Structure 1
Amino acid sequence: MTAAAAAVVPSEAYAGYLDCLTDADEFAATEMAIDLLDAGVPAERVLLDLVAPAQAEVGERWARNEWSVAQEHAATHISEQVIAAVVAHVKPASTRGRVVVACMDGEWHALPPRLVAEVLRLRGWQVTFLGASVPAAHLVSYLHRHDAHAVALACALPMRLPHAHRMIEACRRSDVPVVVGGRGFGADGRWARRLGVAWAPDAPAAAELIADERALRAVPPAQLAHLADDEYTSLVRRRAELIDSGLARLRERVPAVRAYTPAQVDATVSDLGHIVDFLAAAVYVDDASLFTEFVEWLAEILVSRGVPAGAVALPLEHYAVALRDFPRAERVLAQGRAAIRH
């Protein structure tokens, strides 16, 4: 293989790898990745041009209701094993300081930050990967015991942004610079800037930022003066009440909901909770687009599963009435309702 050909993963290899994930064939997937390494493809490119896009496709297949949760979990497990096999095959040496990589508390999407961790390891950093849903107190305790050059934190869901902000601040109080990434901060990092933290769009960018300590620490202050109105805190206090009243409203207006099985009721309660949580996060960062993007996505997911988009519109209408004394939440809800009408 020429140097140019080795710079990217061949398209036929990508298609074959997806077939391995579809068939839940861990050994074939691992063998394919190792064969690419042996053919001269750099390990970083195997991770970023094979494993990462394939895992994104797995998520899309679940969202389109083409794959079950079980299929998605099986594919994710295989990708995790492939990542481990690739790095073990290369055996990178640690020549730089320690970087701690973790998911925010409540975040369970651990594969993207795992890719970041391994790219950093391939570039010579000593990496500690703490995995999914790391409580802030445990992370800070770890930082106090180990001298870390930086912390890389991942957030996949914007509804976790208030928790993310508290975790970021806890790390800073330990005098450890932080870089964040993941879809939870917005495709362009807009909510990272609102929280006043360095953001990287992908693993290579994170590695470059961590290597530049001056850039890592040169971040603007958070833009959260609006939180002085206490609307976010009051909204969070009403979470349980809003979910209960939202479910009662659905039962009143949609007769089919009254005949839901316990599993269907649990799923509906979960969706109502997510609506409240995304609304609260939008109020926290004072950006309605966080909420409108979510309700558009939720409507698409429900429609793909045979649930009418009106199942989203009705709770939004109910919450708008229930929160009429919350001006910022009311504005966000109005934009969310307009988004799913189009």
Structure 2
Amino acid sequence: MLGNVLAADEAAAFRLAHHLIDTGTDPEDVLLRLIAPVQATIGELWARNRVSVADEHVASHINARLTVVCAAAEPPPRRPDRLVVVACPDGEWHTMPSRLLAETLRLRGFSVHFLGASVPAAHLTSYLQQHEPAAVLLSISLAVRLPSAHRSVMAARRAGVPVLCGGLGFGGTARWADRLGADAWAADAAGAAAALEDWPPPPADRAGLDHLVDEEYDRLVKETPDLVNRALSVLDQRFRPMRGYTRSQREATVEDLGHIAAFLATAVYVDDQALFAGFVDWLADLLTARHVPPVSVDLVLEHLQEALDDSPRTARMVAAGRAVLQGRL
């Protein structure tokens, strides 16, 4: 399947999926043990600079269409009391994980309303009030969407609907989902389906976001454009390869600076140094695969540390990111 997708051979991929289902393979296995791993591998190949963004888009399109093959399989009878809504919070455009989740739940007999990408919180509240599902399942692929996910969780609470969160953006544990006020977290689609079999979960104590009273997050978001511009100036002055960058390379650098600022703000939002440190580690790997030395990231973080030294939580996040880079410099 991976070879078919990488070759953009949609017809061959469809033939394989149809063959597997026609010869007795459970459609859920095709979804979660074939399509999902192929999608994850494509993402890893992109990170290692082995495939282009265009290649990744083609592969994602084929995999999304392959879910239709599995969705066409005969599911168990629907139960009205098992209506759930699956959505991505505002700004989250990676729908493949949530689509795989929606089809897995349908195959298990749930009635699923799939809202897709980037659903504004106000619209989510209205939809949930109108349809009164048993649960809303929120999926994010990037941790930078956690503030938006928090707004979606609050929207669900206003509608009186329990929330189950999942996706790579929530990390490998329930801690960020708990902090945002979600009722439950699942590591994958099978885990989400299992959680819904014993729903709703009992109330649990949550850490909450009381730290936001210091307004460091709001300040950082407000100052991000200026911070990015000044960081670009720092690179122009202190990172010699920048002098030979093409226009597209400079645009990519500005995009990376925006990602650094966004992930830093998200770490401040949930008050978790590990979030920013993990992103810096990932970014260093990504840039190394593209022959950009990690010192470029450290120069940016040094600038941020100096510019934000009067914001103690933010400064701790930046320091955690710089610590990750020390073994690479």
TM-score, reference length from structure 2 = 0.95
Residue number in structure 1 paired with 2:200? 214
Unaligned runs of 5+ residues in structure 1 are: 1-16
Residue number among 136, 141, 149 corresponding to 1:156 in the alignment: 141
| 3-state SS of paired residue (2:13) | helix
Task: State the 1:338 CA deviation.
Answer: 1.0
User: How many percent identity over aligned positions?
Assistant: 51
Q: What residue identity is the alignment partner of 1:86? A: C
| 3-state SS of paired residue (1:196) | coil
Residue number in structure 1 paired with 2:62? 78
- Is contact 1:21-1:75 (8 Å) kept? yes
Separation in 2, partners of 1:179, 1:33: 30
Residue number among 28, 31, 51 corresponding to 1:47 in the alignment: 31
1:113 maps to 2:113: no
Alpha-carbon RMSD: 1.4
Aligned pairs for 1:1-342 within 5 A: 17-90=1-74, 92-96=76-80, 97-197=82-182, 198-215=184-201, 218-342=203-327
Task: State the 1:145 CA deviation.
Answer: 2.3
| 3-state SS of paired residue (2:86) | strand
How many residues were matched structurally? Answer: 325
Separation in 2, partners of 1:222, 1:210: 23
Separation in 1, partners of 2:45, 2:17: 22
Cα shift readout 1:223-274 (whole Å, capped 9, x = no counterpart): 2221121111111111111111111111111243244333222211111111
Separation in 1, partners of 2:124, 2:64: 22
Cα shift readout 1:79-107 (whole Å, capped 9, x = no counterpart): 11111111113355422432111111111
Cα shift readout 1:60-83 (whole Å, capped 9, x = no counterpart): 111111111111111111111111
Separation in 1, partners of 2:230, 2:247: 18
Task: State the 1:25 CA deviation.
Answer: 1.1
Residue number in structure 2 paired with 1:6? none
- Is contact 1:196-1:219 (8 Å) kept? no
User: Which range moves more in the overlay, 187-196 or 90-99?
Assistant: 90-99
Separation in 2, partners of 1:133, 1:222: 26
- Cα 1:219–1:34 change in 2 (3 A) is farther
- Is contact 1:153-1:178 (8 Å) kept? yes
Unaligned runs of 5+ residues in structure 2 are: none
- Is contact 1:195-1:223 (8 Å) kept? yes
Separation in 1, partners of 2:211, 2:3: 49
Task: State the 1:220 CA deviation.
Answer: 2.6
TM-score, reference length from structure 1 = 0.91
